Amino acid sequence: MPELPEVENVRLTLQNILPKGSRFKNVQLNRPDLRFPFPDKLAEKLKGQTLLDIRRRAKYLVFETEKYFLISHLGMTGSWRALEAAETHDHLVWEFENAPTLVFNDPRRFGFISLYEKSVTPSHFVDLGPEPLSDDFHADYLFQVSRKKNTPLKSFLLDQKTVAGLGNIYVCEALFMSGLKPTRKAQSLKQVESVRLVKAIKEILKQAIKAGGSTIRDYKNAEGKSGEFQQRFRVYGREGENCRKCRKPIRMIRQSGRSTFWCSQCQK
């Protein structure tokens, strides 16, 4: 599933395709649903609306018009692109009066689209923690919220209530960079370790965004380009390979149904 750096790169490339002020001309639905049904009267509501901004919150894209927030989640295989030729699994088509036609394609249909009037806070955002690259996410905050958490450190960081947008790849990489064992209890985190961990999370995310995100299978941004950060993985997906720091083999364990990659020598 695309994580924060991938979604951020989709947002950045969408901004290149759709300038602010693009006006919806027509909305075409090629099926009634994705993971959930499309919003009621979506085409009718969006027609004539002007795109004011494209933002990101956690792993969600947020398209803002005069009246609405349109929320897009990519799911496992969802992608946005400018229409050049129709493809199988093109489920949603946006035509604009003064911009290229935009298409949402999702072979596995785990993505979804939601529509909210701007006077309403989107339900997806109600329980989200701070953005990891914002000033609200800092060492004191992380240390305090970890005090009564008896969950493993990795699970704690994947909880979107703790911090919004982190996923399996970048939590594994940040824990390695900060030298922290993923199975440790969150409440065992020390103040100095919180400083190190927050710094690592911010640094890993910035590196990944600059590299265009990570393409493990089929992720591409809205301009059709794959990410390159997977070439820099220190632990993720490297089970049995030598740690680039200490040369010990990278280990893999399962935590809450997810693969966790780590170095037993470098992470304590």
- Architecture of the domain delimited by 4-125: Alpha-Beta Barrel (3.20)
Q: How far is CA 82 from CA 21, 32, 262, in A?
A: 17, 22, 39
* CB contact at 8 A, 180 and 153: yes
Return the sign of the alpha-carbon dihedral for residues 121, 122, 126, 129: negative
Task: List 136's β-bridge partners, or say none.
Answer: none
Structure token pair of residue 14: 């969408």
Task: List 73's β-bridge partners, or say none.
Answer: 60, 112
Q: How far is CA 228 from CA 36, 121, 168, 231, in A?
A: 31, 35, 17, 6
Q: What is the pLDDT of residues 136-147, one digit of tens each?
A: 999 999 999 999
Q: How far is CA 215 from CA 55, 92, 93, 114, in A?
A: 22, 23, 24, 26
Q: What is the pTM of this model?
A: 0.96
Per-residue pLDDT, 1: 84
Q: What is the pLDDT of residues 51-60, one digit of tens each?
A: 999 999 999 9
- Of 3, 6, 8, 173, the catalytic one is 3
**Low-confidence stretches of the chain (pLDDT beneath 70):** none
Topology alike, domains 4-125 and 139-262: no
Active site residue 228: no
Per-residue pLDDT, 256: 87
Active site residue 258: yes
Per-residue pLDDT, 71: 98
Q: Domain segments of the chain: what residues?
A: 4-125, 139-262
- Of 23, 184, 225, 258, the catalytic one is 258
Q: Which amino acid is at 45?
A: K
Angle 173-164-230 from CA coordinates, rounded to 5°? 30
Which residues touch 252 (CB under 8 Å, ≥6 apart)? 239, 259, 260, 261
* CB contact at 8 A, 153 and 190: no
Q: Which amino acid is at 262?
A: W
Per-residue pLDDT, 17: 95
- CATH code: domain 139-262 is 1.10.8.50
Active site residue 2: yes
Active site residue 234: no
Q: Rounded to a whole number, what is the largest CA-CA distance in the chain?
A: 59
- Of 45, 56, 59, 251, the catalytic one is 59
